[in-house]
Copies of this chain bind each other. A is one copy, B any other.
Amino acid sequence: MKGHLQGWPKDLIDLDQLTEEQITQVLDTAKAFKEVSEREIKKVPVLRGKLVVLFFHENSTRTRLSFETAAKRLSADTLAISSSGSSMSKGETLLDTARNILAMRPDALVIRHGAAGAPSFLGRRLPVPVLNAGDGSHAHPTQALLDLLTLREAKGSVRGLRVAIVGDIAHSRVARSDMTGLVKMGAEVRVAGPPSMLSPGLAEEYGVRVFTRAEPALEGADAVIMLRIQLERQRGSLFPGAREYSRVYGLDTARTRLLAPGAVVLHPGPVNQGVEMTPEVYESPGSLILEQVTNGVAVRMALLCLMVDPPESGALPAR
């Protein structure tokens, strides 16, 4: 393995590990790779002969497909291991399973896990790069990076942008990583949600403004990130139902009028249309939800490249 980039962490667990310059490097590299996905031949030989293991301990078809596509576009081989329904981890600890995977000599381990801290735990114990593809309600750094790329592309820069994040802030790894990344890149962040979905100390911990109503967060915002409501997990526990949530926090055409002119709408997907936003907003020109998916592949290509086989110079990718 070549030497890592100056100061680049071995693992990517969350965005608090990266400096503003490093995040910019990821976004710049992603921008170059995004162009690859638009070519006739959508493939570069950057990771030819490398093996990327996708270890998904929690079901996530979208994120897995995005990483798998990213790895293949870099010419890497992939092994997808979903521990649910497999015999991978019978009677074994997570660490032992990971050490067994490692003994097959992969070049990177992408891990999605239901338990917060699992990727960090493995990263500290394994010699290969570990990329967090989402762990419990802790972090989802690649989602935050693709959100940053999408905002930068739409608005030129993240610095100074007013960004609202609406939904279950307290239990969302997307919200946590987004807040970390956005504030680091100079955005002004407001979060909004029902009191049961906000945790004390959010404002101080992340440097964001906190609202229990949607309107003041949306007022004048350049961008809004609507979080997915886990309808399947909520069954009446945290809020009085999807209809009520939608009425108070959902993004409809009336509420979009509060936003700044040219504001954009993001969502980590899949959208519950009619809950987090109306179909009209989903289909509106400001909705960048599918662009986020495209950017997800590009960001993951950039990270795999930077972490598995960092280039000597920044001239990436060669045409």
Establish whether residues A42 and B38, one from each chain, have CB atoms under 8 Å apart when the complex forms.
no
Establish whether residues A65 and B79, one from each chain, have CB atoms under 8 Å apart when the complex forms.
yes
Establish whether residues B72 and A77, one from each chain, have CB atoms under 8 Å apart when the complex forms.
yes
Establish whether residues A297 and B42, one from each chain, have CB atoms under 8 Å apart when the complex forms.
no
State the Cβ distance, A243 to closest chain B Cβ, in Å. Answer: 15
Establish whether residues B50 and A100, one from each chain, have CB atoms under 8 Å apart when the complex forms.
no
Using a CB-CB cutoff of 8 Å, which residues 48-103 of chain A contact chain B?
Answer: 48-51, 59-62, 65-66, 68-69, 72, 77, 79, 81, 85-93, 96-97, 99-103
Q: In whole angstroms, what is the CA distance A107 to B59 when docked?
A: 26
A269 at the interface (CB under 8 A from B): yes
State the Cβ distance, A233 to closest chain B Cβ, in Å. Answer: 11
A97 closest partner in B (C-beta): B270
User: Pick the contact of A290 from B93, B99, B291 — CB < 8 Å?
Assistant: B99
Given known contacts A77-B72, A104-B66, A91 and B38 CB-to-CB distance under 8 angstroms: no
State the Cβ distance, A213 to closest chain B Cβ, in Å. Answer: 25
A265 at the interface (CB under 8 A from B): no
Q: In whole angstroms, what is the CA distance A43 to B50 when docked?
A: 8
A38 closest partner in B (C-beta): B105
Using a CB-CB cutoff of 8 Å, which residues 100-115 of chain A contact chain B?
Answer: 100-105, 107
**Per-residue 0/1 for A134-160: is the Cβ within 8 Å of any B Cβ (1 yes, 0 no)?**
000000000000000000000000000
A232 at the interface (CB under 8 A from B): yes
Q: In whole angstroms, what is the CA distance A158 to B40 when docked?
A: 37
Q: In whole angstroms, what is the CA distance A107 to B38 when docked?
A: 10
Establish whether residues A100 and B62, one from each chain, have CB atoms under 8 Å apart when the complex forms.
yes
Using a CB-CB cutoff of 8 Å, which residues 157-192 of chain A contact chain B?
Answer: none
Interface centre among A1, A60, A96, A296 (most CB of B within 10 A): A96
Establish whether residues B293 and A103, one from each chain, have CB atoms under 8 Å apart when the complex forms.
yes
Q: In whole angstroms, what is the CA distance A38 to B104 when docked?
A: 10
Which residues in B have their C-beta under 8 angstroms from that of A92? 270-271
A37 at the interface (CB under 8 A from B): yes
A318 at the interface (CB under 8 A from B): no
Which residues in B have their C-beta under 8 angstroms from that of A77? 43, 72
A84 closest partner in B (C-beta): B85
Establish whether residues A269 and B40, one from each chain, have CB atoms under 8 Å apart when the complex forms.
no
Establish whether residues B103 and A86, one from each chain, have CB atoms under 8 Å apart when the complex forms.
no
A272 at the interface (CB under 8 A from B): yes
Establish whether residues B232 and A90, one from each chain, have CB atoms under 8 Å apart when the complex forms.
yes
Establish whether residues A103 and B291, one from each chain, have CB atoms under 8 Å apart when the complex forms.
yes
Establish whether residues B103 and A81, one from each chain, have CB atoms under 8 Å apart when the complex forms.
no
Which residues in B have their C-beta under 8 angstroms from that of A272? 91
Establish whether residues B65 and A51, one from each chain, have CB atoms under 8 Å apart when the complex forms.
no
A65 closest partner in B (C-beta): B79
Interface centre among A60, A91, A93, A271 (most CB of B within 10 A): A91
User: Mind listing 15 A-B residue pairs with CB under 8 Å?
Assistant: A38-B105, A42-B51, A43-B77, A61-B86, A61-B87, A62-B87, A65-B79, A69-B104, A92-B271, A96-B273, A99-B290, A103-B290, A103-B292, A104-B296, A105-B297
- Name the 6 nearest CB pairs between A and B, nearest first: A41-B49, A103-B293, A43-B49, A61-B86, A103-B290, A61-B88
